[in-house]
Amino acid sequence: MVALVAVVTICTAVTGAYRINLTPSEPLGLWRIIPLHRPAAVDDLLFICPPETAAMRAARARGYLRSGSCPGGVAPLIKTVIAVVGQHVEIGVSVSVDGRGVSSSSLALRDGKGRPLTPFPSGIVPPGYIFLHPAFPSSYDSRYFGPVPASGILGLAQEVFTYVP
């Protein structure tokens, strides 16, 4: 009976657009995906499926991405939009967008296991793409994998029951 209740609860959560975040990029806990009926904007906190690219496959192999329901078998990311189409993103020691510095954006040259990290080249965000970065400085985000297709957006991320350890 307990197993049946657990299965029903999990199915309801998934079909009801609820997700559990176990990554340090945003508070741990229960989140909800809210449909987004407009183009993504700067400061939107989103759930997004990462594209199936060589950078994402390498990230998965390194353990940066968890298993989940997105293409490529990875979990959706929860990230904040910091740049949209036409904005210039400069990636140096830290990130700036249209000449304005982004907080908590200094780049790491190595990950937590000492493996080298390569920053994405600076440039203009192309049509159909967004540039992502959360406030968590050790996040694996667009500083390293570049802009991502807006077509992967699942919706806005809304905290339901979360905590910061």
Cβ proximity of 76 and 69 under 8 Å = yes
Which residue, among 47, 92, 87, 91, has the nearest Cα to 70 in the 3D structure?
Answer: 47
Could you tell me the two tokens for 38?
Answer: 């407009």
* 76-105: pLDDT as tens digits: 999 999 999 999 999 999 999 999 999 989
Structure pTM? 0.87
CA atoms within 13 A on the CB side of 96: 7
Tokens standing for residue 28? 């741990």
pLDDT values of the chain reduced to their tens digit, one per residue, 165 residues: 666 445 544 554 555 589 888 887 888 899 999 999 999 999 999 999 999 998 899 999 999 998 888 988 999 999 999 999 999 999 999 999 999 999 989 999 999 899 999 999 999 999 999 999 988 878 899 999 999 999 999 999 999 999 887
Q: How far is CA 120 from CA 45, 62, 66, 117, 143, in A?
A: 21, 17, 22, 10, 6
